[in-house]
A and B are shown apart, each in its own frame.
Chain A
Amino acid sequence: MGFEKFGRKSFTGVTKTSKFVDLLTEGKVEGTVCKKCGAKYFPPRADCASCLSKDMDWFEMPKKGKLETFTVASYAPFGFEKDCPYTMGVVDFGELKLFARLAKELKTEDVKVGMDVTVKTLQYEDGQMSFEITKA
């Protein structure tokens, strides 16, 4: 399975981190960790920027984080128009952060900076795989 299945619409076909999409189908949101120096990355990387190693492993992202910020998009770029409006945000897990859309069922008026959130995987009706931020 290639990386074109990632997200609402992928702009990248081939990457050494395409296992990320396989993990999404298993219900897991994972980053990579360097086997040599232990540096952790999200989004995943195939190469360690700290020690230059290419020996990377996968690890599951934390479950509990706080919503650091968010925005509600009223306009969408080409190819995303039918999803509008949608909310995107950044989760702070402490050591790591994550950017994603917020789950549709979260009402905009209930979304607050600093609220407790978690992350889960998501399959779109056309088979595309993604992950989204939802209430903890």
Chain B
Amino acid sequence: MAKDVAVIGVGQSSFVRGYEGSIRELAFEAFREAMQDAGITQKDVDASIFCSAPEYDKQRSPAGVLAEYMGLIPQPTFYIETVCSSSSSGVKVAYSMIKAGLHDVVVVLGFQKMSEITSAESQERMGRGADIQWEAPFGTMMPAYYALYAQAYMAKNALTHDDLMNVRIKSGTYGQTNERAVYRKGVKAADFDASNPDARMASPVAWPLRVGDACANADGSSCVILANAEKAKAFSKKPIWILGIGAASEAVNMAARPDFAKGLSVGYGAAAEAYKMAGLTPKDIKVAEVHDCFTIAEIMAYEGLGFAPMGEGKQLIREKATYKEGRIPVNVDGGLLSKGHPIGATGGSQIRTIVLQLRDEAGSMQVPGSPGIGLVHNVGGVGLYGNVTIFGR
């Protein structure tokens, strides 16, 4: 496996509801932390890539505006968008630029300020990340799309609502210790008890998915700084190398999707490409961040990534294999479910977690045994885009 491109700095803002500042100020929080982490200054940076889902921004073409605020002009700046996977797509583009020899050091900054519009407006915009010509006229929204997968998957694979609940309980276990998470309460089975009118997670959103099965909107930013081998060794004591990087896309319309009971095809496609490039197998992964925008998405990701055979993802949560002490720890920072999901910032935040894990700097979230290889799985839209990236020391 080639060690050509490394992460030399990571940063993340707190993920919050209603950030008290503008998008440039929000973006600067992650940028400042990543730059300090890397120990570099703006003159060391050769290019920047900004990533968000633009329908939330009032600012058109944010890359130029943000590059100026970060102090990254006159270097070239670019804008990359794949909805919820925008910042891992940005990392793939940065990787390509560095590998091609165009730039030595590239900043990838993901951001989203979702709070400027109402939740209903937000759902409508998210629904427009799917097929606006043929599906949005029926009144679609994100939870309904994932619920289509959940319904088919649960019917075929005997996955229960308790299994989904247990994914959320795991998320809550770690979300409460992550000071950057928007949702910092623990979750217990009583929260999903439909017979209790006070149970805050039991009410249906899009059956079979309930309130507790869904992640929260949040405002946030993330920053990943990548460098070529020479600069990485010069700047960083603990460079974390990109060993494999894969991406895939799928038909937007549900009518063109393969078997719903098998989960998202992009998870399988992107993972196969990343494993092949890294020369690794699922057994080599010691810690992972997966795209748990809904509880069902985490179960499907287990299978797409090869941590469990198709249809058997439920066993991992039943056996607590994806807890911190388990065989393959997954989302031990609380995941999207607890940390929150500020669309454009999410992939970079997942990468930050894995980088900290591989440096043994994850604090209370640290997976024991000094994990050497970690994986990030970031999905855009309803499996419209998928990125899988494998990191190593």
A interface residues with partner B (beta carbon < 8 Å): 3, 6-12, 15, 42-43, 68-81, 83, 86, 88-90, 96-101, 108, 113-114, 130
Instruction: List, in ascending order, chain A residues with CB within 8 A of B315's CB.
Output: none
Do residues B256 and A97 form an inter-chain contact, with CB atoms below 8 A? yes
Q: Give the distance in Å from the alpha carbon of A99 to the alpha carbon of B147 in the complex.
A: 14
B interface residues with partner A (beta carbon < 8 Å): 118, 120-121, 123-124, 127-128, 131-141, 143-144, 147-152, 155, 203-209, 253-257, 260-261
Instruction: List, in ascending order, chain A residues with CB within 8 A of B257's CB.
Output: 90, 97
Given contacts A80-B139, A88-B138, contact A99 B124 (CB under 8 A): no
Q: How many pairs, one residue from A and one from B, have CB atoms within 8 Å of each other in the complex?
A: 119
Do residues B140 and A77 form an inter-chain contact, with CB atoms below 8 A? yes
Q: Give the distance in Å from the alpha carbon of A73 to the alpha carbon of B208 in the complex.
A: 9
Option from A12, A70, A101 in Cβ contact (under 8 Å) with B148: A70
Do residues B120 and A77 form an inter-chain contact, with CB atoms below 8 A? yes
B155 to chain A: closest residue by CB: A113
> How many Å from the CB of A120 to the closest CB on chain B?
15
Do residues A90 and B132 form an inter-chain contact, with CB atoms below 8 A? no
Option from A12, A72, A78, A114 in Cβ contact (under 8 Å) with B124: A78
Do residues A74 and B206 form an inter-chain contact, with CB atoms below 8 A? yes
Given contacts A76-B141, A99-B254, contact A11 B133 (CB under 8 A): yes
> How many Å from the CB of B361 to the closest CB on chain A?
40
Option from B137, B141, B253 in Cβ contact (under 8 Å) with A73: B141
Q: Give the distance in Å from the alpha carbon of A89 to the alpha carbon of B158 in the complex.
A: 20
Q: Give the distance in Å from the alpha carbon of A108 to the alpha carbon of B131 in the complex.
A: 25
Do residues B137 and A6 form an inter-chain contact, with CB atoms below 8 A? yes
Q: Give the distance in Å from the alpha carbon of A35 to the alpha carbon of B75 in the complex.
A: 51
Instruction: List, in ascending order, chain B residues with CB within 8 A of A3's CB.
Output: 133
Q: Give the distance in Å from the alpha carbon of A71 to the alpha carbon of B148 in the complex.
A: 6
Do residues A72 and B152 form an inter-chain contact, with CB atoms below 8 A? no
Do residues B141 and A12 form an inter-chain contact, with CB atoms below 8 A? no
Most chain A CB within 10 A, of B128, B131, B144, is at: B144
Do residues B138 and A78 form an inter-chain contact, with CB atoms below 8 A? no
Do residues B137 and A99 form an inter-chain contact, with CB atoms below 8 A? no
Do residues B136 and A11 form an inter-chain contact, with CB atoms below 8 A? yes
Minimum-distance CB pairs A-B, first 9: A7-B137, A80-B139, A71-B147, A77-B124, A69-B152, A43-B134, A72-B207, A78-B124, A113-B155
18 extra interchain contacts, Cβ-Cβ under 8 A, other than A42-B255, A76-B141, A88-B138?
A: A43-B255, A68-B260, A69-B148, A70-B151, A71-B148, A71-B150, A71-B151, A73-B139, A73-B141, A74-B203, A75-B120, A78-B120, A78-B121, A78-B123, A90-B257, A90-B260, A101-B138, A113-B151
Instruction: List, in ascending order, chain A residues with CB within 8 A of B253's CB.
Output: 43, 99
Do residues A77 and B137 form an inter-chain contact, with CB atoms below 8 A? no
> How many Å from the CB of B190 to the closest CB on chain A?
21
Do residues B148 and A72 form an inter-chain contact, with CB atoms below 8 A? no
11 pairs, A vs B, C-beta closer than 8 Å: A7-B136, A12-B132, A69-B149, A71-B144, A76-B141, A77-B141, A79-B139, A90-B260, A96-B255, A113-B152, A130-B137
Instruction: List, in ascending order, chain B residues with CB within 8 A of A43's CB.
Output: 131, 133-134, 253, 255
Q: Give the distance in Å from the alpha carbon of A42 to the alpha carbon of B141 in the complex.
A: 21
Do residues A15 and B155 form an inter-chain contact, with CB atoms below 8 A? no
> How many Å from the CB of B130 to the closest CB on chain A?
10
Given contacts A6-B137, A10-B137, A74-B205, contact A89 B148 (CB under 8 A): yes
> How many Å from the CB of A19 to the closest CB on chain B?
14
Q: Give the distance in Å from the alpha carbon of A107 to the alpha carbon of B207 in the complex.
A: 14
